[in-house]
Amino acid sequence: MLHCRLPVFITVLLLSPELFAQIGLDIITIADNDNGGQTYTLSIQILFLMTAFTLLPAGLLMMTSFTRIIIVLAILRQALGTAQTPNTQVLIGLALFLTFFVMTPVLDQIFDQAVTPYLSEEITAVEALQKASIPLRGFMESQTRENDIDLFIGISGNDRLIDTDIIPFSLLVPAFVTSELKTAFQIGFLIFIPFLIIDLVVASVLMSMGMMMLSPLIISFPFKLMLFVLIDGWALIIGTLAASFYF
């Protein structure tokens, strides 16, 4: 499916003999031994491959919409006061599939512009990586605030980047993550307000009735659930999150 094309594409590039031939590293070296047989030796390329696989999940999560989505869902769970319901595995699964949904236009562009020409042997692996980075860069730049980009440009001390349209990934990725964190907490704050009002109202009523030993959370929890269900909260939250990336 289109949703899985980006990880598959990166895996194909990592395992591509053409790419390693351009770098000058062989996966397996064959040498003749004294007994007339052959010895197969794995090169340092395997170390590079394993290192790339360990960094791949973090890179994909930090350069997509996953950060904003999972933070908003976690704040929503905290605002509802449902402790571990839904549990962390459910939230992560929901965030992943929603991330695939949001990133589908970007993945389609990567597949059409980079994967298909590369598999057709029309471009090299290096050119395919360069073409694949263009849609991903466009997505991150559209979601990143200019002041966050200026912040990391100032920290790097490279003032020449201010006058260029191409920002290196070493600056764009942290600026994108910082901007996503800020946006996620802003959305989470707006989500938290209605539930906080319910908690305050319930606490005030209990205080006026002299029931100070009764926890307000026990009384407010059903009202918060009822409010969330009546407004179709999950559809509203998920729809708003998905729309926030393109509108």
**142/98 Cα distance (integer angstroms):** 19
Read off the pLDDT of residues 117-143 as tens digits, 9 standing for 90 and up: 878 878 887 788 888 888 888 888 888
Q: What is the structure's pLDDT at 181?
A: 92
Who wins on pLDDT, 46 or 24? 46
CA distance 67 to 206: 38
- Residue 182 contacts residue 147 (beta carbons within 8 Å): no
pLDDT: which is higher, 213 or 174: 174
**Residues facing residue 42 across a β-bridge:** 28
Backbone dihedral angles phi then psi of residue 29, each to the nearest 5 degrees: -105, 125
Angle at 158 (CA atoms; ends 155, 159), nearest 5 degrees: 105
Which is nearest to 75 in space by CA: 218, 181, 217? Answer: 181
- DSSP state, residue 238: H
d(CA 177, CA 180): 5
**Computed from CA positions of residues 198, 202, 207, 212, in that sequence, does the dihedral angle turn out positive or negative?**
negative
Note if the pTM is more than 0.85.
no
pLDDT-based confidence at residue 42 (cuts at 50, 70, 90) = low
